[in-house]
Amino acid sequence: MSASQIWADAPSPCVDVCKYKRAGRCVGCMMTKMEKDSFPHSGSADMKKRFFETLLARLEEEHKNPAFWAIAYRRKCEREGVPCPLDEDGT
């Protein structure tokens, strides 16, 4: 499977914490409820990849270690039986 296809098939960055604080963003994934609802419709692999990059930047801005989210997301991908797009970029 190509990296582009892995990104296109990437599951939502939600890691099932779903506690909204800090400007209406989830403390687990840093998405707003609207972003969470719209993610499955994000479209292309490039759009999804940019979305993930934005979330990683938010985690860093909030002084959270993105590695903790990445671990939870990799576990989610494993549970769903799909390749993790983070592994395609060495993230």
Q: 18-58, pLDDT tens digit by residue?
A: 898 868 989 888 899 999 888 876 678 999 999 999 999 98
What is the reported pLDDT for 14?
A: 93
Q: Which residue has the higher pLDDT, 72 or 44?
A: 72
Q: Report if residue 45 sits inside a domain.
A: yes
C-alpha dihedral over 81, 68, 27, 91, to 10 degrees?
-70
Domain of 16 in residue numbering reads as 3-82
What is the reported pLDDT for 87?
A: 87
Q: How many CB atoms lie within 10 A of CB 78?
A: 11
What is the reported pLDDT for 74?
A: 96
Q: Report if residue 87 sits inside a domain.
A: no
What is the reported pLDDT for 53?
A: 92
Q: Report if residue 37 sits inside a domain.
A: yes
Q: Report if residue 7 sits inside a domain.
A: yes
**What is the total count of domains within the chain?**
1
Q: Report if residue 23 sits inside a domain.
A: yes
* pLDDT, the chain, mean: 87
The rounded Cα 47 to chain-centroid distance in angstroms is 12
Q: Report if residue 89 sits inside a domain.
A: no
Q: Report if residue 88 sits inside a domain.
A: no
* Per-residue confidence band for 89, with pLDDT thresholds at 50, 70 and 90: low
Per DSSP, 23 falls in state: T
Q: Give this prediction's pTM.
A: 0.85
